[in-house]
Amino acid sequence: MRDIENTIRKHALINAILHDGKADEKAVFKKLLGEIPELKTLIRDKEKRSEILDMVNSIISEVNSMTRDDQIELLSKKYGINLEDIIEEKSKKTREGLPPLPRVNEVKKVVTRFAPAPSGALHLGQILRAAFLSYFYAKMYNGKFILRLEDTDPKRIKKIYYKWIMEDLKSVGITWDELVYESDHFDVYYELTRKLFEKGLAYVCTCSSEEFRKYREERKACPHRDTLDRVEDWEAMLSGKYREGEAVVRLKTDMNHPNPALRDPPLLRIIDSVPHPRTGYKYRVYPLYNYACAIEDHLSGVTYVIRGKEHETNEAVQKEIYKVFGWTPPITIQYGMLRLPEIKMHKRHIRNALREGTLSGWDDITLPTIKALIKRGIHPKALEKMALHVGMTKSDVTVSLETLYAFNRQILSPIARRVSFVETPFKLKIINVPKRSIQVKMPWIPENEKAGFRYYKLDTVQEEDTNVLYAYLSRTDQDLLKQAMRNKEPIRLKELMNIVIEKIDSEASEIVARFHSFELIPRINKLHWVPYDPLNISSKVIMPDGKIKLGLVEYHAQELEEGDLVQMERFGFGRVDRNEGELIIFTYAHP
């Protein structure tokens, strides 16, 4: 029989690391039976099953009491298992777990598209499903992925957003096989509309919105349906006979249709009050969303449209457009609504806030935009894993940003440099230090010697016939320090020494401690610290709610560059926003 205890511990460590430091009993037990199949026979005996389950629970309790860094270190040292390999294998299995596309044997080649309007920077909701899922399926079937910019409403779009959409997609690892601008096809829309008029399938409607709503509700034909349905009427609309808001082109359908949205839906409208970012004032009649969408999907040969179920009405209108042209519609796959409770602000609110000056930009870290999340220190791979986690469920799902943060920890733990940041620092005085000078060697990344080390030479000073060493601790650790002082328990300063707290002077912001030992003592509290002057630098951490934490960061943080991903010891993950020499500014991602 193989070593059951070792196998349990290995899978408990793996499971804990993949699930924010907490292993699950059922998952570990399942892995144990998978690796040692002969146990399936053994556990038929109730006593043996109980004995093994007790062993599983005991080891899980032990593993869950460890810090995640210690779990990673033990897994690497004892079992030779690399965290990056675990994450990659998990990601691969998750991607393979996407449901297959329906009716795939009916298409020659899978063609999907992501079609955002350049009306702002991309946000998390757009990326997680519409973008990533369309991209994943195209790659899964060795198909074609199209990026289409829906720029047929000059009132909503801005030139800079074209560039930003492409930057945002590339920043999360999404590339496209073809780039389409809808504004390149205005002449195509016009020609197809002319054909509808030639067949008597469209008309110019000059009713007000209120007037047509009344006809629609009463299931009556608009008076223009059979009087403004000639090609000449269409050409009059193009030539400038009507002003903005005075006329639209409608498709002739069935005014008795049970779905009111399908009773003569509008296809095109006039906009001549603002220039288009790419075509200026060249065109004055612009297609509405459903008309452009149906035509573009046909022109590009899109075979699968992956969209939210809130688009059911749009899909029905687009099928009517396909029908009148005699085209075969793409296969539609609908997913449920994705709710992210922590996200309160949508694009229209962001645009308003920017105009009012209450936001610093689309990358303001209080926002759910891709630019803001990347700026905070969310790794692109974490967004990909989140997209796979959300998947293609048809029912509505509520997902917390904490899930995204858990994925981000998995990605960043093996690659983020560690730095020590102390918030609102307490001065620490350590007496009775047995050495006059102490050499400190701290890894930039635990278990990765190639990442290098931070070295410090800490000199003590002579005070009242004792060697004294000064450092800084975070004021947020005050309660832990008080408890240790009451219990007379030693505390370890990471990579430095063990100390015993003797006095805490909150008013003077000073702690007095006595040297205890250098050797690592199992299961004692570990605190991060920052060397005393001049081996520290002023620092700010910008939090996701816009608030700023002030403190000190260790001297070697000066080596960090803008954009570097970091883990601030016992504080949280983040990104270097600016390194200004005397001041280093971080943005905070999550704990």
Question: CA-to-CA distance for 60 and 32, rounded, in angstroms?
Answer: 13
Question: 530 with 552: CB under 8 angstroms?
Answer: yes
Residue ending a domain, among 49, 81, 113, is 81
Q: Are residues 70 and 199 in the same domain?
A: no
Mark whether 70 and 211 lie in a shared domain: no
For residues 70 and 190, membership in a common domain is answered with no
CB 379 within 8 A of CB 567: no
What is the rounded CA–CA span in Å between residue 46 and residue 44?
A: 6
Is the separation of the CB atoms in 138 and 105 below 8 Å?
no
Q: Evaluate whether residue 371 is within a structural domain.
A: no
Q: Are residues 574 and 440 in the same domain?
A: yes
Q: How far are the Cα atoms of 151, 167, 225, 315, 391 from residue 337, in angstroms, in the given order? A: 25, 26, 37, 16, 12
| pLDDT at 218 > cutoff 60 | yes
**Within-domain flag for 93:** no
Pick the closest to residue 283 from 143, 368, 183 (CA basis).
Answer: 183
Are the C-beta atoms of 188 and 291 separated by less than 8 Å? no
Q: What is this structure's pTM?
A: 0.81
**Is 324 a domain residue?**
no
CA-closest candidate to residue 284, choices 185, 154, 162, 161: 154
**Dist CA 51 CA 4 (whole Å):** 12
165 within 8 A of 130, measured Cβ to Cβ = no
- Answer with the residue of higher pLDDT: 401 or 582: 582
- 51 within a domain of the structure (yes/no): yes
Q: Is 147 part of a structural domain of the chain?
A: no
Residues 437 and 582 both lie in one domain = yes
Residue 482 within a domain: yes
**Residue scoring higher pLDDT (349 or 547):** 547
pLDDT-based confidence at residue 317 (cuts at 50, 70, 90): very high
Residues 6+ apart with CB under 8 A from 301: 111
What is the tens place of the pLDDT at every residue in 28-87?
888 888 888 877 777 777 788 888 888 889 999 999 998 877 888 888 888 888 766 666
Same domain, 562 and 443: yes
Number of domains in the chain: 3
For 265-271, the CB contacts below 8 A with 24+ separation are 265/290, 265/317, 265/320, 266/205, 267/193, 267/196, 267/202, 267/291, 267/321, 268/189, 268/193, 270/237, 270/242, 270/243, 270/244, 270/245, 270/246, 271/153, 271/154, 271/155, 271/244
Helix (H) or strand (E) holding 112: strand 111-114
Structural domain includes residue 140 = no
Q: Percentage of the chain with pLDDT > 70?
A: 96
CA distance 543 to 591: 11
Residues in the chain: 591
Q: Distance (Å, rounded) from C-alpha 575 to C-alpha 556?
A: 16
Domain boundary among 259, 279, 295: 295
State whether 288 and 424 are in the same domain: no
Q: Given a cut of 60, is residue 95 above it in pLDDT?
A: no
Gyration radius of the chain over CA positions: 31
Band (pLDDT 50/70/90 cuts) for residue 394 is confident
580: domain CATH number? Answer: 2.40.240.100
pLDDT digits (tens, 9 = 90+) for 456-475: 999 999 998 899 999 999 99
Question: Looking at the predicted structure, is the pLDDT value of residue 442 above 80?
Answer: yes
Q: How far apart are CA 270 and CA 502, in angstroms?
A: 79
Q: Are residues 72 and 195 in the same domain?
A: no
- The verdict on residue 343 lying in a domain is no
Which residue range(s) make up the domain with 70?
4-81
pLDDT at 272: 95
- Of 228, 260, 295, which one is at a domain's C-terminal end? 295
pLDDT of residue 92: 55
What is the helix, strand, coil percentage profile of the chain, to 5?
40, 25, 35
The H or E element spanning position 565 is strand 565-568
Give the tens place of pLDDT for each residue, 366-390.
999 999 999 999 999 999 999 988 8
Do the Cβ atoms of 43 and 111 come closer than 8 Å?
no
Please, which residues have CB within 8 angstroms of residue 143's CB and are 6 or more apart in sequence? 109, 110, 111, 112, 137, 303
Q: What pLDDT shows up at residue 47?
A: 80
For 424-509, list the strands marked E by DSSP.
425-431, 437-443, 453-459, 461-463, 466-474, 490-493, 497-505
115: pLDDT confidence band, cut at 50, 70 and 90?
Answer: very high
Whose structure tokens read 């269409």? 234
* Same domain? 451 vs 585: yes
Mean pLDDT of the chain: 92
With a pLDDT cut of 90, the percent of the chain lying above it is 73
Is the pLDDT reported for residue 260 higher than 70?
yes
